[in-house]
Structure 1
Amino acid sequence: MKVRHSRFSVGVILFALAMLPTMAQERAAQIREKLLNRNLHSVIVVSHRADWRNFPENSLEAIESAIRMGVDVVELDLQRTKDGKLILMHDSKLDRTTTGKGKVSDWTLDSIKTLRLKNGCNIKTIHKVPTLEEALLAAKGKIMINLDKADRYFDQVYELLQKTGTTEQIIMKGSKPAKEVKARFGKYLDEVIYMPIVNLDKEDAKRQIDVFVEDMRPAAFELLFVKDSNPLPRMLADSLKGESLIWYNTLWDTMAGGHDDDMSLANPDEGYGYLIDVLGCRIIQTDRPAYLLDYLRKRGLHD
């Protein structure tokens, strides 16, 4: 009996180990469902330029670190090389984040691959600039991706999404009117999630939101405001409930009324907690993903 029990235990362990890759591959689909279902019971964590505090921004290693951490979405930036290849890069120039100099558009991919990425302290690392395709394969099935600056060449982006089987992992955002979004990107929106960005300090902000809700009913809005004296964030916490999720950025103080990462380090309830409890936020983009995840898990708002 002991021998049989031992064999059974080993079999269970081996089966569980074999299932781990499949479970990881399913995680992106679960996050997508939270978005599309407008889930209000948890908070989705977006890591700005992936985990740039531990690895160079927009690097494969930063993406992989965010996945291990339990982040839901990585925000990544795109540029295009002289020979038409899409790479991960925030700036139009290489100077700040790599050992190269000059415009990305003046360098071929082969040349860029000879460079090294710099970390947040401007120190050269062993890491290299990834292509979008490499990033998609690293993230496949494991995490959602918010592609910034992608609308400039989205036909080319979509070809890579199809090639890598990642079309349903992408969140694209922009400030274009609803009519233009439907005209330019409508054929992709059954798979790719489009999220409007609306500056709540502009006079027509409420009208922009109303038009998007009526015409497209987006899964989420990225909202921006400078000061708490603006009444619109509180109003939208009620009016968008059940219609669209609300995304706020805590990267610096002018993006969400001062309720940023710095405030949250001093008092997370005044920073993150205010956005969640008072303004109905259920998606937070942060430069402090580990700290935010710890806060949310203590409150039962993240796995």
Structure 2
Amino acid sequence: MLKRLSIKIVILFLYFSPLALLAQTHVDNIRKKLYDKSSKEVLVVAHRGDWRYAPENSLAAIENAIKMGVDIVEIDIQKTKDGRLILMHDKTLDRTTTGKGAVSTWTLDSIRNLNLRNGAAIRTIHKVPTLEEALLLSKGKIMLNLDKAYNVFDEVYALLEKTGTVDHIIMKGTAPSQKVKEQFGKYLDKVIYMPIVNLDKPNAQKMIDDFIKELNPVAFELLYVKDANPLPKTLANSLKGKSLIWYNTLWDTMAGGHDDDMSLKDPEKGYGYLIKELNARIIQTDRPQYLIDYLKKIRRK
């Protein structure tokens, strides 16, 4: 009897352990690509999840991004009256839910009675998720870029430890390197931090040099309005082997006009330019499936 039980336990272990390993492998592979400073692969970031499929910052929007093969989902954090962390971009409920008023004046139980609105402001069946629910859904499947979380990161980190998702997180910010070290220093060896640098500002190159010297970041998010700025092409070469480059294609003034709209018209002038001319290895988009399809196409060439 004992022998049969032992055999059953071994069979169950062999059956389930590959599934558990597989669930963890995708995040491990994404992290490996992030830390490969000479990577030729492009990671896809879905802005607020796949909000064309389900409301922004909803569990369904994250889940569909996972299904389509997105590498990172950007989500936004707000804090309720009773101190719970939820997924929401705005400080108020008005635009994205059936409620009204500041998030900070509502308890989580009250917010749970609301419904999320989609991009056309139509009421849906979806509910506002907590950060903890999003972490558990994403665990082992996808990395998360947490926006609007900097000021509550002590509380965020407690949830990361609770859910075992510390290594799933990317934080970003516009502060100079010294300030990041002072304010965020105790997390820098645990959570990936990426500086955001506006290349149209006169101190842009110095900020980048300081970060490389002091923090050696995995990647930089770079912003610029027009191609007349010479820095994007300069950095495409000077950052090779040092840090990856992240560009946002959400609207035209974030990446010199090479945004999602330009990419819909001519992907080579949009995504293609950022990848081939500016060495972008991480792209955040509002059209993740379109970008994924483009990347598959150029890999086949």
What letter corresponds to residue 240 of structure 2 in structure 1? K
* Partner deviation per Cα, 1:106-163 (whole Å, 9 max, x = no partner): 1001100110001111111111000000000000011010000111111110000000
* Partner deviation per Cα, 1:213-243 (whole Å, 9 max, x = no partner): 1000100000000000000000000110110
How many Å apart are 1:19 and its aligned residue? 3.0
* Partner deviation per Cα, 1:139-188 (whole Å, 9 max, x = no partner): 00110100001111111100000000000010000011111111221211
Distance 1:217 1:196 in 2: 10
How many Å apart are 1:30 and its aligned residue? 1.1
Distance 2:16 2:84 in 1: 37
Q: Where does residue 105 of structure 1 map in the other structure?
A: 104
Worse-superposed segment, 242-251 or 292-301: 292-301
Distance 1:166 1:190 in 2: 14
How many Å apart are 1:189 and its aligned residue? 1.5
Q: Where does residue 281 of structure 2 map in the other structure?
A: 282
TM-score of the two chains, using structure 2 as the length reference: 0.93
Secondary structure of residue in 2 paired with 1:78? strand
Task: Give 1:82-231 correspondences, 5 Å limit.
Answer: 82-231=81-230
Q: Contact conserved, 2:116 with 2:126, CA < 8 A, in 1? A: yes
Q: Where does residue 44 of structure 1 map in the other structure?
A: 43
* Partner deviation per Cα, 1:43-95 (whole Å, 9 max, x = no partner): 00000000000100000011010000000000000000011110000000000
How many Å apart are 1:24 and its aligned residue? 2.5
Worse-superposed segment, 229-238 or 185-194: 185-194
The Cα RMSD (Å) is 1.6
Q: Contact conserved, 2:38 with 2:240, CA < 8 A, in 1? A: no
Distance 1:175 1:110 in 2: 34
Runs of 4+ in structure 1 over 6 Å off: 15-18
Worse-superposed segment, 154-163 or 175-184: 175-184
Distance 2:70 2:32 in 1: 15
Distance 1:39 1:146 in 2: 22
Distance 1:282 1:259 in 2: 15
What letter corresponds to residue 117 of structure 1 in structure 2? L
Q: Where does residue 236 of structure 2 map in the other structure?
A: 237
Number of paired residues?
289
Distance 2:218 2:196 in 1: 12
Distance 1:16 1:165 in 2: 23
Secondary structure of residue in 1 paired with 2:235? helix
What letter corresponds to residue 250 of structure 1 in structure 2? T
TM-score of the two chains, using structure 1 as the length reference: 0.93
How many Å apart are 1:25 and its aligned residue? 2.3
Q: Where does residue 292 of structure 2 map in the other structure?
A: 293
Distance 1:129 1:25 in 2: 26
Distance 1:249 1:108 in 2: 33
Q: Where does residue 258 of structure 1 map in the other structure?
A: 257
Distance 2:32 2:150 in 1: 23
Worse-superposed segment, 160-169 or 177-186: 177-186
Q: Where does residue 4 of structure 1 map in the other structure?
A: none
Q: Contact conserved, 2:74 with 2:146, CA < 8 A, in 1? A: yes
Distance 1:25 1:126 in 2: 30
Secondary structure of residue in 1 paired with 2:146? strand
What letter corresponds to residue 231 of structure 1 in structure 2? P
Distance 2:16 2:135 in 1: 24
* Partner deviation per Cα, 1:195-222 (whole Å, 9 max, x = no partner): 0000000010000000001000100000
How many Å apart are 1:251 and its aligned residue? 0.4
Q: Where does residue 7 of structure 2 map in the other structure?
A: none
Distance 1:108 1:136 in 2: 20
How many Å apart are 1:17 and its aligned residue? 8.3
Distance 2:281 2:181 in 1: 25
Distance 1:72 1:24 in 2: 13
Secondary structure of residue in 2 paired with 1:138? helix
